[in-house]
């Protein structure tokens, strides 16, 4: 009898460990912090700042986003990777470009054509990387 009770107890305990736990937290979504307005010098890491903004006022069609990265003494730094992802928050996924790499101009400016096919609310998510690691993720919200 005692053996049977122990066996049942063992089964209950085993079943308990197999039950999915609701306490298991899902991985947090990638966090993009809200960027200060375009043209502002924004800290990137301990020794760099950057600016971003459209080359001209954005319009329906394709507009060029510029990013410049500077060392603290004001020189262009081109050793980072920059990616941009454009989408409309109110219709998430409908026009999502996915992460697209900015291309360096010969003046050391990071450039990305951004397709903006309709008026409304837009978000551009910028991801800065160096040596394969993400340095900063930022979000720019604007109305077109
Ligand atoms: Cu849309």
Please tell me the class of the 32-143 domain: mainly beta
Predicted local confidence at residue 13, as pLDDT? 45
Q: Domain coordinates of the chain in residue numbers?
A: 32-143
Condensed to tens digits (0 to 9), the pLDDT of residues 89-134 reads 999 999 999 999 999 999 999 999 999 999 999 999 999 999 999 9
Q: Do the beta carbons of residue 83 and residue 127 sit within 8 Å?
A: yes
| CA of residue 15 to ligand 1 center, whole Å | 49
| CA of residue 115 to ligand 1 center, whole Å | 11
| CA of residue 23 to ligand 1 center, whole Å | 37
Please compute, for residue 103, the number of CA atoms within 13 A of its CA located in the half-sphere on the CB side.
Answer: 6
Count of C-beta atoms within a 10 Å radius of residue 49: 17
| CA of residue 19 to ligand 1 center, whole Å | 43
Condensed to tens digits (0 to 9), the pLDDT of residues 15-31 reads 444 444 444 444 455 68
Model's pTM, two decimal places? 0.79
Predicted local confidence at residue 55, as pLDDT? 97
- Letter string b/e over residues 73-101, b meaning 16 or more CB atoms within 10 A of that residue's CB: eeeebeebbbbbbbbbeeeeeeeebeebe
Please compute, for residue 26, the number of CA atoms within 13 A of its CA located in the half-sphere on the CB side.
Answer: 3
Q: Do the beta carbons of residue 39 and residue 29 sit within 8 Å?
A: no
Condensed to tens digits (0 to 9), the pLDDT of residues 50-83 reads 999 999 999 999 999 999 999 999 999 999 999 9
Predicted local confidence at residue 15, as pLDDT? 47
| CA of residue 122 to ligand 1 center, whole Å | 8
């Amino acid at each position: 009898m005692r053996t049977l009770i122990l066996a049942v107890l063992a089964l209950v305990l085993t079943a308990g460990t197999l039950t999915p736990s609701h306490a298991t937290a899902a991985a947090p979504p990638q966090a993009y912090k809200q960027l200060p307005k375009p043209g502002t010098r924004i800290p990137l890491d301990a020794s760099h700042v950057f600016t971003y903004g459209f080359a001209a006022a954005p319009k329906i069609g394709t507009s060029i986003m510029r990013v410049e990265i500077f060392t603290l003494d004001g020189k262009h730094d081109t050793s980072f990777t920059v990616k941009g992802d454009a989408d409309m928050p109110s219709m998430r996924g409908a026009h999502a470009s996915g992460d697209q790499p900015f291309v360096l101009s010969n003046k050391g400016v990071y450039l990305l054509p951004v397709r903006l096919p309709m008026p409304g609310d837009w978000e551009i998510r910028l991801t800065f990387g160096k040596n394969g690691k993400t340095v900063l993720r930022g979000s720019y919200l604007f109305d077109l």
